[in-house]
Structure 1
């Protein structure tokens, strides 16, 4: 039976790289036979990623979904269950960041960051977990950040949202261990993605690439069902970027 894998924020950056890595592994027959459900707010980005995955031979469904909208996430999960009847993996990758001084953060910065990183991730996970609980199988990933444990002056609200994700993860594990569901927290350091904006070009040579995070994520998924990689911290070899 094909594995149903939902990836949020799949149009760019780490989510895009994870989707392509799953498709590549399937083509190379690395114990993976997925149907990818790719979600993001921008359909044109999803179409480009889906084309790459389909060219590699992986069935791919795209859905333009803003996870901050709880009705939209409910529709996403209902669509997946009506069409496929099960969910094997949820990769909570969608996220935003506003990087500036604590005293320059606006209410809009706060709302946008918390609505996606904390609220959206919480309610999507809340909808998916009972399905996996009933199946007594499944794997939920969170693409969090080292900012969930390490403070940076430029990322107060982002760090707040990621600390919140870590609280959710710790609570979710108490439920997941009772029903054979795996939960993995991936905490990357600086990765060259569109989230950095123009400043990313300045630091590109000391950052990781999205593919680095994708390969670790897919490796964790491909572990035997009896084994759960609970947490992975991945940093640039030169350490954190303090900006």
Structure 2
């Protein structure tokens, strides 16, 4: 399986993402620059964290205007897995590939810590190796991670089982309903603020994030075995 890790000016989570895929999964992965106009050769698209374009205007607002995001929207419609983490989640929201918006943390401060996350829905491309209700440890590092949506959108998220991850216990940023990660209706686009790519080795505190990447690979292998 071949992964693309998108890189924008200001991206800083791309190396962690690359390491998780190449060294922990043993899958093929390449960095893809923001001005790239074709993603056909990749089976999954990863949008890492950081501060794309310095978070000017709003986090993700400039990155969503780049040529690569038009291509991301196209392959998302085709059903390819798209994962946005941290700033990647913010970019997906700005691009309209996920519903809702991201606000400043309720504390108005940058938050960097390991938090407990509940697997709210394990019936997705990204979470199938977890169990429903499983509590995992993942790090967060953001100042704009307060997920918000209106009541209608929230109800749709619940009705369609689009809420995949929630914060357990203490909510570190004020996100509505403790939401930490959601998918689109089709289920192939996931945005989340916690960083699974920084939790793939117990020597660094947790390897709970590894199952997320393994889930993507498992789904792809099973789908392609059927096609073959």
* TM-score normalised by L of structure 1: 0.41
Higher helix share: 1
* TM-score normalised by L of structure 2: 0.43
Higher strand share: 2
